[in-house]
Amino acid sequence: MIENIYKDLGISKEVYDFTERIAESLSERFKKIDRTAEYNQMKVIRAMQKNRLAEAHFQPSTGYGYNDQGRDTLEAVYSDVFHTESSLVRPALTCGTHALTIALSANVRPGDEIFSPVGKPYDTLEGVIGIKEQKGSLKEYGVSYAQADLLPDGSFDYDAIRSKINSRTKLVTIQRSKGYDPRPTFSVEKIGELISFIKQIKPDVICMVDNCYGEFTEEREPSDVGADLCVGSLIKNPGGGLAPIGGYITGREDLVEQCAFRLTAPGLGKEVGATLGLTQSFFQGLFLAPTVTAGAIKGAVFAAAVYEALGFECVPKASEERYDIIQALKLGSPAGMIAFCKGIQGAAPVDSYVVPEPWAMPGYHSDVIMAAGAFVQGSSIELSADGPIEPPYEIYLQGGLTWYHAKLGVMKSLQEMMNAGEIKHL
C-alpha cells in the first residue's frame, strides 16, 4: 500500500527501493536525533510551566500593546529556554536579517567596528553592514567592519583573530550556520571556545551569534557558552512552522533593551508593540519546535546518505554530527540544481505544480533558484532548497515539518535528477 501511494506521487520502484534501503540503515542515527528532541521538548515545557502560561496569554492586543501579558510571558519563556536575562520576541521583527540588523545597529555607534571571526556573513547582511554598497548601511553611519577568514579546513584562524581585534572593536558577530558557503556549521562547543578566546583578548566586547537554523539541534544554545546575544527568525526552527512572521533577540538585559529602543523608539522599548493575535502561534510553534527541528535534521541526514551513495560531495557528510538543519549538496551543474529543486517543489503541499526557475533575488549577488511550497512564505523550517547558480553549483536543502515530508522531498529530487539524465542509474 505505501509503495503504491509513493508511485502515485511520481516515485519509481527503482527510486523507492534504493531510498528505503538507505532510510532503514539510519535507524540508530535517528534514535540519537530523537533523544536530543526529547531533551529540548522537556526544556520548553519546563519554561512554559515555570512562567505559568495560561489561555489568557493568547488574547490579542492592538494599538500600543500596553500591558500585553502574553507578549511579556512569551519573552520570559524564551529567556528561560535560552538561559538569558532578557528577550525580545516580536512580529515586528520581520525576518532573521531584520532581527540581526536591529541587534547590530542598536549596539554599535559611529567610530565602532564590527568584526566577524568566521569570514564574510550571509549575503543579505552584506548590504546591512556596508560590505556591499547600500543606502542606510552601518558603513554610512561611520561603523567599520573587519573579518578574519577561516582556515582551509574550516577552523578558526586564531592568529588572525588576535591581530584584528582592536580598540574600536565593539561587537563580534558569529554566524553559526554555513549560509551559501560549504564550510562546516559550528557546534555550540566550538562557538564557546571561540567566545572564550575573544573575551580573553577584549573582555568587554559584545559577542553576538547569528543562531539561524541552529536552534534545538543540540541540547545547548550559544547563550549557554558565553554569547551576549543570540538572534534568529521565527520562520525558522523556533517557530515550529506555525509562526507566520517574527524574530527573536535574547541575551544580556542591557543589550536587549538597546535592541528594544531601536525596534520601537528610545524611551518606549519593550513597553509597546501589539501582538495582533499571533501570540498563540508563537507559543505553540515554540512548543513544537524541538520535534519539528528533529524531522528536518533527519531529512538532512537522509539526503546526505542518498547522494553520497551516488558519489556526490555533501557537507556535512551523513555520518557527521549536525549543528543546523542545512544540507549542502554539490550537484556540479545548473541542470542538476534545477532538477533537484523541481523535485523539492513537486513534493510540496502548497504550489506543487509550480516549476522553479533561477531569478535575480533581492539581496543576493547572483541568480538564485529556490524551491519552497510552504504554508508560510519563505519559511525555511518548511521543506525548501535554494542556491546561487554559480560554480561549484551547490544546492542547500533545509527544513521539513515532518520527517516523512522531508523524506518524500529527497525521493522526488532524486527522481527528477534521474528524469533529467543527471543521474544515470542507482
Residue at grid coordinates 557537507 = 315
Do 17 and 70 fall within a single domain? no
Task: Report the C-alpha gap between 78 and 287 in whole angstroms.
Answer: 11
Q: Are residues 182 and 279 in the same domain?
A: yes
Residue 200: CB atoms within 10 Å: 9
CA distance 105 to 139: 11
Cβ-proximal residues to 289 (8 Å cutoff; 6+ apart), any chain:
40, 44, 215, 216, 237, 238, 239, 240
Of 226, 270, 231, 263, nearest to 248 by C-alpha is 231
Query: Looking at 264, 286, 308, which one is the last position of a domain?
Result: 286
Cis bond leading into 290, ω under 30°? no
17 and 161 assigned to the same domain: no
CATH of residue 234's domain is 3.40.640.10
With both helix axes pointing from N to C terminus, report the angle between 279-309 and 403-419 in degrees, rounded to the nearest 10: 40
- Do 167 and 64 lie in one domain? The reply is yes
Angle between helices 27-50 and 279-309 (to 10 degrees): 170
Per-residue model confidence as pLDDT tens for the chain (426 residues): 999 999 999 999 999 999 999 999 999 999 999 999 999 999 999 999 999 999 999 999 999 999 999 999 999 999 999 999 999 999 999 999 999 999 999 999 999 999 999 999 988 899 999 999 999 999 999 999 999 999 999 999 999 999 999 999 999 999 999 877 778 899 999 999 999 999 999 999 999 999 999 999 999 999 999 999 999 999 999 999 999 999 999 999 999 999 999 999 999 999 999 999 999 999 999 999 999 999 999 999 999 999 999 999 999 999 999 999 999 999 999 999 999 999 999 999 999 999 999 988 776 678 899 999 999 999 999 999 999 999 999 999 999 999 999 999 999 999 999 999 999 989
C-alpha cell, 266: 528610545
Instruction: Please report whether residue 97 resides in a domain.
Output: yes
Residue 220 and residue 232 in one domain: yes
How many folded domains does the chain comprise?
A: 2
3-state class (DSSP) for residue 336: helix
Among 229, 259, 286, identify where a domain stops.
286
In this structure, is residue 197 part of a structural domain? Answer: yes
- 261 and 304 together in one domain: no
Residue 353, domain CATH: 3.90.1150.60
Q: Domain containing 165: what range?
A: 57-286
Grid-cell match 546575544, residue found: 229
238 and 342 within one domain: no
What is the H or E stretch that residue 99 is in?
helix 96-107
Do 202 and 302 lie in one domain? The reply is no
What is the crossing angle of helices 403-419 and 13-25, to 10°? 140
Domain end point (choices 240, 267, 286):
286
Are 359 and 328 within one domain? yes
